[in-house]
A and B are shown apart, each in its own frame.
Chain A
């Protein structure tokens, strides 16, 4: 089971595939993935949590720091693959006011294609 955050590019959209556990130990690879996408000048970033089933407070703090930077840099952030519980936690910390939660990658791409 992967423990690292992996980045992908699809045109001008960047994706970050988060591992099963999103914790403080995820920090370094998440930064690396994000910075790689940023250097590619993506305007939209998708956080893929489809493989993630454990996000602790440090992991959510990590997501917040990435989202903050993305927003400051003019990027749009989507997140998908979250369970109802983690959607609730994201809402509790205010993340849902900064990012768009979608069901899956296809829905995200569809939204990105809309004018």
Chain B
């Protein structure tokens, strides 16, 4: 890490681990990125990435315990913005991220982060927490992008293959009455995007009303696109070799503290 980190400006937030507070970080990131003159579309990318990282930290890392804070650091450097989102690590990030929408992680969110920022790195902190680092560069990083005359701030998604993703699997606590009972297929039995109608179990509704029911998200077996196109959504070591640090390797800690400003966002119950 020999880049110019000697004295980056540091904006730091401490968010209660309650869903909704990620929007505070989103707005703060927007303000910082605007100040750095990022292109509007890149700011939108950053906002989504920061919000998703915070949601992961709130929900999984901190188990939505409002007494525990998610720390968001925004390190402002001449050529880039680095945002670090840290939790206390109640849920340890796996060494390899699961496919979007699978398992108990917010796979969709990690997929968006991966594809919206220039660099993403997940680190296990010495105290057991997780830290997601997201970097956006002000200028193109590859010679290719300069050579082919692309815009000065290309969005990562412009070169990313279209993703093919299974559906968010987060269960809802309250399900509508009309929802069909589970029609869960094991992941390996998901051959296509859409189950044929006859494969759908009839449920509460009379047959003629079958189409009206919505499968609850947690039983959703289908992906949007055919299975053979899925691999692009999987975050593999080959795609992002530096994305995940093995346990015990902590390339850095929050070492930049100069010119920092700290904002504490307290939940109503704490004040």
Contact = CB atoms under 8 A, between A and B. Distances in A.
16 contacts: A28-B172, A38-B178, A38-B213, A54-B23, A57-B55, A58-B108, A61-B217, A65-B215, A65-B220, A69-B214, A69-B215, A85-B48, A89-B112, A92-B115, A94-B223, A97-B162
B12 interface: no
Given A68-B194, A93-B165, 11 more contacts: A31-B176, A35-B213, A54-B23, A58-B106, A61-B169, A68-B215, A73-B212, A92-B157, A92-B162, A93-B163, A94-B165
A76 to B, nearest CB: 13
Interface string A22-49: 0111011001101100110000000000
Contacts, number: 139
Contacts of B48: 56, 85, 89
Interface residues of A, number: 41
Interface string B150-190: 00000101001011110111101011101100000000000
B214 A35 contact: yes
Interface string A53-78: 01011101110111011011111000
Contact residue range for chain B?
35 or more
Contacts of A83: 44
B217 A98 contact: no
- 5 nearest A-B residue pairs (beta carbon): A61-B168, A38-B212, A73-B211, A57-B108, A94-B224
Interface of B: 19, 22-23, 26, 41, 44-45, 48, 51-52, 55, 100-101, 106, 108-109, 111-112, 115, 155, 157, 160, 162-165, 167-170, 172, 174-176, 178-179, 193-195, 197, 200, 209-217, 220, 222-225
Contacts of B220: 65, 68
B108 A60 contact: yes
**Which secondary structure dominates where chain A touches chain B?**
helix
A102 interface: no
Contacts of B212: 35, 38-39, 73
